[in-house]
Amino acid sequence: MLVEIDKHGMISHARVRHARSPQIERGKRVGAITGIVVHQTDADTLSSSLNSYRNPKANGAHFLIDKDGTIYQTAAIYQRTNHVGPLKARCLVIPKCTLRDFPEKVGPTAMHRIEMLKAPPDRYPGNMEAVGIEMVGRAKLPAGFRPIPEEATWPIEKLRGRHGIFDTPTAAQNQSLSWLVRVLQDSLQMTEGEVFRHPVVSRKNPTEAQGANWNLHVPTP
């Protein structure tokens, strides 16, 4: 399913509203787009994320899907944005390597540097190669949560980051996600299967986008 994309990388289609925030763009891509990374905003409302994207040097993704399924394009596709973070080793999952192939006690930064010496699909797509799709949804602490003594003085945001569980995306969000993924893969001639939840490719809350489904039937147009 093809859509019109202008020279800047903005989609022209009735299902996509333009809300471009140049503050989250980090310059033109220098290589091919090879994958899609699906996120959740960790915010309750669309407006809070759109407002944050207007801050100087803000980070964000190319698309934002509201809980009612409305799709907003917040950055041009042909611009890089910072939305992925340090990459995990894809070769451990394929599998084509083991931890013994890495330096002892390798940390996130060192592993990322090693991975960036490879080219997709031998590694996960990073900021330069990936289109980012955010869905509005926030991580909340489980009902009745009690921190362990060592965490008793932690601020609530730090506790949410460690123990929070993200909202399940709405049915409307998943329908729009499926449509958008299909459109991007067809229009940019991307390889199928190169779509990943954020915590798969980077060290993020494991519940982020855990209910995301981009394989639903998509009616045309």
Q: How many domains is the chain partitioned into structurally?
A: 1
pLDDT score for 1: 84
Low-confidence ranges of the chain (pLDDT < 50): none
Domain CATH number, residue 140: 3.40.80.10
| Domain span holding position 150 | 4-84+124-201
Say if 141 falls within a structural domain: yes
Tell me if 99 is assigned to some domain: no
Query: What is the pLDDT at residue 221?
Result: 65
CA–CA dist 172, 215 (Å, integer): 13
What is the distance between the alpha carbons of residues 35 and 87, in angstroms, rounded to a whole number?
Answer: 13
Q: Establish if 208 belongs to a structural domain.
A: no
Containing H/E element for 5?
A: strand 4-5
On whether residue 23 sits in a domain, the answer given is yes
The gap between the terminal CA atoms of the chain, to the nearest Å, is 7
Look at residue 211 and tell me if it is in a domain: no
Within a domain: residue 102? Answer: no
pTM of the shown model: 0.94
Whether residue 35 lies inside any domain: the answer is: yes
Is the omega angle on the peptide bond into residue 169 within 30 degrees of 0, that is, cis? no
- 148 is a domain residue: yes
Distance CA 193, CA 214 (A): 10
Quick one: pLDDT at residue 219? 80
What is the spatial distance between Cα 140 and Cα 194, in angstroms, rounded to a whole number?
A: 29
